[in-house]
Amino acid sequence: MEHMFGVRLWFVMLEQFLMKYVWSGTGMIVVSLPILLSATNGRKGIEHKKQVHEDVADNHDSVSDRTEYFTTAKNLLITGSNAVERLMSSYKDIVELAGHTARVASMFTVLEEASQGIYHKTLVAKKEKKESFEIEFRGDQPLAKGEIVQSTSNEIILHNVPIVTPNCDIVCPSLSLHLRPGQHLLITGPNGCGKSSLFRILSGLWPVYGGVLHTPKNAMFYIPQRPYMVIGNLRDQIIYPDTYADMINKQITEEDLRKIMRMVHLEHIVERDTFHEVKDWTDILSGGEKQRMAVARLFYHKPKYALLDECTSAVSIDVESHIYQSAIDMGITLLTITHRPTLWKFHTNILQFDGTGLWEFSKLNHSTRLDLKKEKDELLRTKDGKDKTQRLDELNKLLGEDL
């Protein structure tokens, strides 16, 4: 960026100089040429004029004429150079507009292709490195050769499914796990190890490039860390993506919605704003309130599986625990990404990524895990030393955490 700004600075200065001064400067020289020339050939000019005009005062008139022509020509030139300057800057505006138009047009094409199911994402960079899993390409397009099977038993089964980003980076070459309803899964691992990517694959946002994925249809509900608020009233926020007609069809009443709001400790918002007032909820609600609103959505939809991506990070620990317990009581199976040890007790299984593409899927013993966490916290408070670093490394590996 610095380099670009450096180059642009000189370019803009030169461009402005050319537009402002070169045109008018050249013009001034051109119009003053006859005056300069007639000053040198003054004698000849005067005699010539004398022949044309018989008046004695003609000499004086020719000076005023020339001044008049000069001023008119000068004004015309300045106006002309301004016009050229405007043309040149209009060209820049048109080029900019063309850029925006091209982008909007390609967006329309992508939307069109996506709705017809024929869209292929353009890669930013193709992976050169050899991995234990290799993506097959047809031309520039990676082939999603994985199989997606609709699970009739409401189970989630991944069999050698790789976690691959849209850039074709292989975050995890092969992942296998089997999850039944009621098995609440905690997902841990260092930053960028593919936790959220797994959710994107499970919810069908990213293609499956290999292996077999069994998922139940319409049974997943994904809540991101920063939930979306929609345009509409408070009721629309809770029932999203349902419409009011869907809500009526499901025989859900406003009293039910009020109960849900009570469960997520947001009843005060209903009292303050009612269910019907349209507001800009993204601005009005605080970060924690928005997250609780997303949980209210979860309680409204009651899916079989909830994919919770640090979705209560801004909610206080006691309210958060209450929310998790309520979700379990409703029969929702949780798949949670969280860094809060207070939530471990709500999970029965753990999927731990190590950040190098390896992972471990096992039963979660939350008390043993809490002991390890306590030991790590205590160790962090002690003085630095070789033993400390070694034990910390071991603990981080066991806990699947960054240092």
Residue (127 or 322) nearer to ligand ATP, CB: 127
Residue (42 or 287) nearer to ligand ATP, CB: 287
- Binds ligand ATP by CB under 6 A, chosen from 62, 196, 237, 333: 196
Q: How far is the CB of 290 from ligand ATP (least distance, A)?
A: 18
Residue (164 or 247) nearer to ligand ATP, CB: 164
CA separation for the pair 95, 5 (Å, rounded)? 19
Q: Which of 172, 173, 170 is nearest to 126 (CA)?
A: 170
Q: How far is the CB of 217 from ligand ATP (least distance, A)?
A: 24
Residues 6+ apart with CB under 8 A from 150: 214, 215, 216, 217
122 binds ligand ATP (CB under 6 A): no
CA separation for the pair 117, 328 (Å, rounded)? 36
Helix axes 386-399, 366-381, angle to 10 degrees: 150
- Binds ligand ATP by CB under 6 A, chosen from 32, 165, 203, 313: 165
Q: Which of 2, 92, 310 is nearest to 186 (CA)?
A: 310
Determine the length of the chain.
Answer: 403
Residue (176 or 243) nearer to ligand ATP, CB: 176
* Angle, vertex CA 372, rays to CA 366 and CA 377, nearest 5: 120
Residues 6+ apart with CB under 8 A from 191: 402
Q: Which of 226, 145, 156, 204 is nearest to 184 (CA)?
A: 156
- Binds ligand ATP by CB under 6 A, chosen from 19, 161, 171, 335: 171
Residue (187 or 260) nearer to ligand ATP, CB: 187
Residue (281 or 359) nearer to ligand ATP, CB: 359
Around 313, how many Cα atoms within 13 Å sit in the side-chain half-sphere? 13
Q: How far is the CB of 287 from ligand ATP (least distance, A)?
A: 17
Conformational region of residue 247, where left means phi above 0, alpha means psi within -120 to 50, and beta covers everything else: alpha
Q: How far is the CB of 240 from ligand ATP (least distance, A)?
A: 23
Q: How far is the CB of 137 from ligand ATP (least distance, A)?
A: 17
Tell me the residue ranges of DSSP E strands in 133-267. Answer: 137-138, 141-142, 147-150, 156-164, 170-179, 185-188, 212-215, 220-223, 232-233
Residue (141 or 167) nearer to ligand ATP, CB: 167
Task: Tokens 């997303």: give the residue.
Answer: 294
Q: How far is the CB of 194 from ligand ATP (least distance, A)?
A: 4
Residue (193 or 296) nearer to ligand ATP, CB: 193
Q: Give a three-class secondary structure readout of 327-342.
A: HHHCCCEEEEECCCHH
Q: Report how many residues bind ligand ATP under the rule CB under 6 A.
A: 12
Tell me, residue by residue from 197 to 216, as one string, x for binding to ligand ATP by CB under 6 A and - for no binding: x-------------------
326 binds ligand ATP (CB under 6 A): no
Q: How far is the CB of 191 from ligand ATP (least distance, A)?
A: 4
167 binds ligand ATP (CB under 6 A): yes
CA separation for the pair 401, 403 (Å, rounded)? 6
Instruction: Restricting to residues 175-194, name those near ligand ATP by CB under 6 A.
Output: 189, 191-194
Residue (189 or 357) nearer to ligand ATP, CB: 189
- Binding interface with ligand ATP (CB under 6 A): 165-167, 171, 189, 191-197
